[in-house]
Structure formats: C-alpha cells, structure tokens
Structure 1
Amino acid sequence: MPPAPDTPDDGGPARPGRRPLRPPHRLPTSLIGLAWNRGREMELMHRAMGFAALSFLTLVPLLVVVAAADLGSGEGFARWLVQGLGVSEVPEGEIEQLFGVPGRALQRTTALGLAALAAFGVTFGSAVQTGYERVWALPPARWHTMWRHVVWLAVLVAVLLLFVTTPSPAESSALETALVTVGDTTGVFLFFWWSQRLLLCGRIRWRALAPGAAATALGLLGLRVFSQFVFSPLIASSAVTYGPFGTVLILQSWLVGVGFVVYGGALVGRLVHEQRGRP
C-alpha cells in the first residue's frame, strides 16, 4: 500500500526525513517600524522641507504684518520667533535685526499687498491639508472646501497672537513657567486636534485624531527645548560667520523641524489609533 502523502505540520515533533516548515515571514509590527515605513511612503522629510519653504514664503510675510499691527505687543514678528524658539539674548538680537522695525513693515503694506499675503497664506493651509490627507490615505478634498483654509488661517493667526502674549519663561518663576508650559501644550493639542478635523473635512472621527494631536503637541514642546540648546547657539555663531543669511538658514532648519513634527505627529497618531483598535 503506497505511503500516505505528507500532511501539514501540526506543531508536533518533526518526523525523520521531513523538513520542518518555516514560519511565515513577519512584517515589522512595532510602532517604530511602522512609522519608519509609512514615513518613507509619504515622503515625510520632503513634505517637511516643503512645509518650511511654503511657510517662509507665504506665511511669514503675512505674520510679519499681523504682528506689527498688534498694538498690545508692539514688538513684531521677531517676538513670535523668539517665543517659539526659546533663544537667549544674543540670538534674539539677531532675529530682531533680521525682521526690521515692526512699524515700518506696517506702514509700507498696502491693502492690495495684504490681500495677496492672505491669499498666499490660504495656499499654505491647502498644503497642510494635503499632508494630512496623505497621512490618512484619503482622496483630495473637493474645491468647495477652500473656505476651511481661510478659517484655519484666521484661527492660526489668533493662536499665535495669544501665544506671544504669554509671559516668557525667563521672566517668570518656576511654578509660573510650569503652568505656562502646561497651558501652551494644552492649547497646541486643542488647536491641532481641531485642525485635523477641519482640514480633513470631518472624514476622520475626533477620537481617532486625538493621539495625533497629542503627539504633535509633545513634539513641538520637545522641539522648543531642543532649540534652546542647539538652534540658539547656532544662530549666534552663524550670524558671525555668514551674516543675516546664517540666521535665515537656522530659522529655515527650525521650520523644517516644525513641519516634521506636524506631519510626523499626525502619522504617529494614526498608527497609535490602529494599534489600539487591533484585537
């Protein structure tokens, strides 16, 4: 009687003359491995560099004019960057020298120029929306959703105005610094939670967007601490070596970091949501 054909291995001891079956190839399921693969698929670094270029060309000129019109502060856009970077006194002077006098920027801006700046700012909002859509693998939104870019830009400017009015950590006690940091982080979390919901046109639930907003808020907090120890001395040394161009180079690098955190935080949030939903 001919021998029976081999049957699939049921996990028992290997029989003589039979080769044990190899386990199937396992894809990287860790959060770090998934984040690395997804980041390469969506070209995260290229999008971060595009974020920096667009923000410097379209958003920064608008913020310069808006900051100059802030009568309560009166210190202009340089004050915004100093607060965001958390730099010391020497780099602060280089940044203020780079962006000039706030009143002069406001006096030389016409209504047509302000409208053009606003239109460019809306283009920046469209780019952020495209990045979020790539993170969640969604099709592009329809053209009639452009009003969301205008609303997002207006809220962004309002949030920056509120951020710059908070006391500087160097001028506060330890308790006040901790409270301001917690308040800023909470505000950033709420803003990016709402931003994803708005720019994605409500196609993703609030619960799914919360991890991404939390990752973005913590990432920006870490970037601010990193800036104090790395970008602050680099601004001072680059200004001596390359002049104003050195300051621009460091600021552009900082904006690349901001874009990486914004898109990367949303990507990590999606992965956390997927991992949490798995049995």
Structure 2
Amino acid sequence: MWRSGQEIELLHRSMAFAALFFVTLVPLLVVVAAAFPSRGSGIADWINEGLALSGRSAKAVGEQFASKSEVLNTTTALSLAALAVFGISLMAAVQRTYERIWNLRPGAWHAVWRQVIGLAGLIAVILLTTWHGLLPHDATAASVLRVGLSVCGGVLYFWWLQHLLLASRVAWSALFPGAIATVAAFAGLRVFSQLVFAPLIVSNAVSYGAVGSVLVVQSWLIGVGYTVYAGAMVGRVSRDDRSREDRPHQDEAHEDP
C-alpha cells in the first residue's frame, strides 16, 4: 500500500481532488440541491453530515452558502450548463487515478459519457443522503435507516463507479474489496472529523472569519480524496495478493504429473 501510494502520488492527487471538487462540483451541487425538494438547506446539509457537525460548527458552515431562494433566483441555464461541463473534469481526474492504480491505459477520449454518468450518479448519491423526506420521524429509526442506506449505497456506488470508469477492464469481483474499503475509510474519516475538524471550524471561524471555515472544509475534502483513492488501492493490492497465493498452487499442479 505504501509503495502504491508513492507510485500514484496519493497526496498530490488527493489535493487535486479537493481543489477540483470545491471549484467545479460544489457550485453545481449548490444549484442542484437548491432545486431539490428537501426540507434541508441544500449542500450545507451534506457537508455537515460528512463532517459530523452540529451546533455552532454546523451553523458556521451553513453561513457560507446562500439560501435556496437566492440561489435559484440568480442561476441561469447557461451558468448551470457551464457548471455541469466543469464538473466532468472531476470525474476525469478520478478516472485517470483509477487507471493509474490498476495500471491500465487511459480510456478513449470519446468515452466521456462514462464520466457524465459517473458525475450524475455522484450528485444523486449526495442529494439522497440529505433528503430528509425519506426518513421516518422517529429519531432512532431515522438514524438506523440513514446509516444502513449510507453504507449499502456507498458500497454499491463505488463498486459501480470503478467498473464504469475503468470501462469493464477489471472484473467485478476484484473491485468489490476496494468499494468496501472506501466506505470503511469514510467511516473512519467521519470519526476523525467529529474529533478534530468540528472543533476547528468554530475556532477558525472566530480567528479567521469565513475563510477559516472554508479551509477546514477544504482539508476535509483532501481526506475524502484519500478515502476514494486509497480504497481503490486496497482492491488492487488484495487482487495482487490473491494472485501471488494462487501461483504456488498452480505451479504444484503442473509439477504433479
């Protein structure tokens, strides 16, 4: 894992993921979430959920985004189309990293439709995780249902996303461990965020103003990049380990006659 991380330059790719996500996808999510029929406040709900924020820290993040009515009143069809085009660059970066992890040649340029579908799937997953209209009113039942949907939906999405962006060049069975590892890493990131990032949001907002909250969110997005890419690396390493374990048995089978 350590060697693989060095070979694909995991730190630099995670920082590029965070920058692309914040610059290209967050504005698109702000608009789409504002038009989504939910009782929440849009993209701020997803960030608060991912960072496990509540109280003053959640309020500090929510203040960085305009209200739903303000977003919808100032958005044009041209700006929305431009945001969608820019958002595809994030999926292109994820695809290139997946190909590097699995040591595959870059996909054909005309297969950009895979990136479009992957982007649409990502937006759908993010919006569904913050759509409170699907959850029961009982707090305990809502929490259990949210966790179950997040885990199952996350595993299915990252399993499917790898298969989609890699153009079916890697078997489904080889991609499944990476999907599980990605979701497990997200759970660890959530715990870390609750312990470290949540207090930092409040202190940075007091010390540096709005930019302090933005820096913490950006740092969290770097962690998201780590989880997405490191999870796929786990899948690659586990497949290589299985191949090494199977090779001696194959050699013994050839020697038996």
Same fold (TM over 0.5): yes
Separation in structure 2 between the aligned mates of residue 61 and residue 276 of structure 1, nearest angstrom: 42
Q: Which amino acid aligns with 1:96?
A: G
Question: Which 5+ residue runs of structure 1 have no aligned equivalent?
Answer: 1-34
Q: Which amino acid aligns with 1:220?
A: F
Separation in structure 1 between the aligned mates of residue 134 and residue 214 of structure 2, nearest angstrom: 23
CA drift at 1:179: 4.3
1:113 counterpart (54, 75, 79): 79
Separation in structure 2 between the aligned mates of residue 184 and residue 142 of structure 1, nearest angstrom: 32
- 1:1-279 aligned at under 5 Å gives the runs 35-166=1-132, 173-174=139-140, 176-279=142-245
CA drift at 1:74: 4.9
Q: Is the 8 A contact 2:46 2:130 kept in 1?
A: yes
Q: Is the 8 A contact 1:42 1:135 kept in 2?
A: yes
Q: Is the 8 A contact 1:216 1:261 kept in 2?
A: yes
Q: Which amino acid aligns with 2:95?
A: Q
Distance 1:180 1:167, change over 3 A: farther
Separation in structure 2 between the aligned mates of residue 129 and residue 115 of structure 1, nearest angstrom: 22
> Deviation string for 1:10-57 (max 9, x for gaps)?
xxxxxxxxxxxxxxxxxxxxxxxxx00110011001000000000000
Q: Which amino acid aligns with 1:149?
A: Q
Q: Is the 8 A contact 2:30 2:43 kept in 1?
A: yes
Point out the more displaced range, 71-80 or 155-164.
Answer: 71-80
Separation in structure 2 between the aligned mates of residue 258 and residue 277 of structure 1, nearest angstrom: 29
CA drift at 1:166: 4.8
CA drift at 1:180: 2.7
Q: Is the 8 A contact 1:74 1:102 kept in 2?
A: no
Distance 1:239 1:184, change over 3 A: same
The TM-score normalised by the length of structure 2 is: 0.90
CA drift at 1:278: 2.2
Bigger-Rg structure (1/2):
1
The runs of 4+ residues in structure 1 deviating greater than 6 Å are none
SS at match of 1:99: coil
Separation in structure 2 between the aligned mates of residue 201 and residue 191 of structure 1, nearest angstrom: 15
Separation in structure 2 between the aligned mates of residue 92 and residue 172 of structure 1, nearest angstrom: 22
Separation in structure 2 between the aligned mates of residue 257 and residue 201 of structure 1, nearest angstrom: 26
Separation in structure 2 between the aligned mates of residue 66 and residue 136 of structure 1, nearest angstrom: 33
Separation in structure 2 between the aligned mates of residue 151 and residue 125 of structure 1, nearest angstrom: 9
SS at match of 2:106: coil
Decide which structure has greater helix share: 2
Distance 1:175 1:111, change over 3 A: closer
The TM-score normalised by the length of structure 1 is: 0.83
Per the alignment, residue 252 of structure 2 pairs with none
CA drift at 1:172: 5.8
Distance 1:83 1:212, change over 3 A: same
| Equivalent residue pairs, number | 244
Question: Which 5+ residue runs of structure 2 have no aligned equivalent?
Answer: 246-257
In percent, how many aligned pairs have the same letter? 50
Separation in structure 2 between the aligned mates of residue 106 and residue 232 of structure 1, nearest angstrom: 29
SS at match of 1:67: helix
> Deviation string for 1:188-225 (max 9, x for gaps)?
01000000000001110100000100100100111112
